[in-house]
Amino acid sequence: MVSHLRRHQGLFLLSLTLPILAFAMCVLAGTPESSGIEWLDVLGEGSVTLVLLLWILALLISRPSGKLTQLLVIGLNLILFSSLLDLMDEFMDYSASSNWVSMMESIPASIGMVMTTFAVWQWHKEQLTLNAQWQTREGFVRNTEDLDPVTQLYSGEHWMMRLEQAFAHKPRSYKTLVMLDINDFSQFNSQYGHNEGNRYLRGLSSMLSLSLPSGALVCRFAGDRFAILLLQDEKVDSANCIHQLSESIHHFAFYPHQCNTAICLSARHAAMEIVSMADINATILKLNQSLDKQHAHAA
Ligand SMILES: Nc1nc2c(ncn2[C@@H]2O[C@H](COP(=O)(O)OP(=O)(O)OP(=O)(O)O)[C@@H](O)[C@H]2O)c(=O)[nH]1
């Protein structure tokens, strides 16, 4: 979370400064409310302010840096500024000469609303572009629970479901099950840290998705192990495709944080033709055993 906030240092500072400014303005320009506090108003306005703060924090944590994030955060901050003035109004009395403070309540909010509305429209366009990119991957996934949170590939469970559909809808296609395992990944983790390990897995997964022939189904099977079903209309040599995959992994250059030298890891693989969904568990078991045997030989 801290590293995400560090990425938006300027916006984070703005989100701290504006509320402090609003608070200071009210305290300096007014005197404590003498005619009693309307607690129901405080509750309503206070919760709006709190929710706005949470939205800003969520955006800073989750959004990449860029113009759209700036627009969203600045827009919401302006609304928050007005909302805080509105809330402070419940606790303060302003003399006629300081009445500009309560008059200011509406101006930043109006500008903020326009900015946020424009930003949401841009966000919608960004989402359409991202959806289109998803469609170029091995499938279009809507439910995030169908995805592995680290790599954004199918989770093993969802992959099995997709496999069943593939066997049902494409009974005549040639199917090859491939298992890939990254070599020495635990060593990579110990040297560069778990977060960099996650970043490597994410990058590698994007590369894998884009390198696979259309119709292929890939999932993160476990840890640093990936499972792929290759679906081909004709009986072509899947060995060539598997060889290309392993070469792509071997040439996937990853730059760990604050490191100028690229790291390239290799992978070992095992593959088998599969004709029926009924054979899936036995085939997966054999492929896993084959990968473990290769590891034992290499050790
Ligand atoms: N960064 C990161 N590491 C993970 C994740 N899941 C599993 N791992 C690590 O992946 C490593 C897998 O260990 P091993 O199966 O021994 O893999 P390896 O070191 O590549 O060994 P070989 O495959 O035999 O070469 C372990 O160190 C796990 O901690 C994850 O989500 N993120």
Report the C-alpha gap between 168 and 72 in whole angstroms: 46
- Residue 59, pLDDT > 80, answer yes
Query: Average of pLDDT values for 92-118?
Result: 86
- Residue 221, pLDDT > 90, answer yes
Please name which of 273, 274, 270 lies closest in space to residue 288, comparing C-alpha atoms: 270
Q: Could you tell me the pLDDT band of residue 191, with boundaries at 50, 70 and 90?
A: very high
- The ligand 1 atom at the shortest distance from the C-alpha of residue 181 is 23
Q: What is the H or E stretch that residue 191 is in?
A: helix 185-192
CATH superfamily of 144-298: Reverse transcriptase/Diguanylate cyclase domain (3.30.70.270)
Q: Could you tell me the pLDDT band of residue 4, with boundaries at 50, 70 and 90?
A: low
Please name which of 25, 113, 38 lies closest in space to residue 76, comparing C-alpha atoms: 113
pLDDT at 135: 60
Check: CB of residue 90 under 8 Å from CB of residue 43: no
- The ligand 1 atom at the shortest distance from the C-alpha of residue 198 is 1
pLDDT at 171: 87
Q: What is the H or E stretch that residue 29 is in?
A: helix 9-29
pLDDT at 1: 64
Cα 227 from chain centroid?
22
Q: Could you tell me the pLDDT band of residue 136, with boundaries at 50, 70 and 90?
A: low
Please tell me if the CB atom of residue 224 comes closer than 6 angstroms to any atom of ligand 1.
Answer: yes
Q: Dihedrals φ, ψ of 16, to 5°? A: -85, -40
Q: Could you tell me the pLDDT band of residue 190, with boundaries at 50, 70 and 90?
A: very high
Q: What is the domain partition of the chain in residue ranges?
A: 2-135, 144-298
State in Å: Cα 1 to ligand 1 middle: 24
Q: What is the H or E stretch that residue 178 is in?
A: strand 174-182
Please tell me if the CB atom of residue 194 comes closer than 6 angstroms to any atom of ligand 1.
Answer: yes
State in Å: Cα 31 to ligand 1 middle: 62
- Residue 139, pLDDT > 80, answer no
Higher pLDDT, 298 or 158: 158
pLDDT at 93: 85
Q: Could you tell me the pLDDT band of residue 250, with boundaries at 50, 70 and 90?
A: very high
Average pLDDT, the chain: 89
ipTM reported for the complex, 2 dp: 0.94
Query: Average of pLDDT values for 19-26?
Result: 92
State in Å: Cα 133 to ligand 1 middle: 29
State in Å: Cα 258 to ligand 1 middle: 22
> Is residue 299 exposed (0-12), middle (13-18) or buried (19+ Cβ within 10 Å)?
exposed
Please tell me if the CB atom of residue 182 comes closer than 6 angstroms to any atom of ligand 1.
Answer: yes
pLDDT at 233: 79
- The ligand 1 atom at the shortest distance from the C-alpha of residue 187 is 19
Q: Could you tell me the pLDDT band of residue 3, with boundaries at 50, 70 and 90?
A: low
State in Å: Cα 196 to ligand 1 middle: 12
* C-alpha Rg value of the chain to the nearest Å: 27
AA letter at 83: S
Report the C-alpha gap between 225 and 291 in whole angstroms: 10
Query: Average of pLDDT values for 280-290?
Result: 95
Q: Could you tell me the pLDDT band of residue 282, with boundaries at 50, 70 and 90?
A: very high
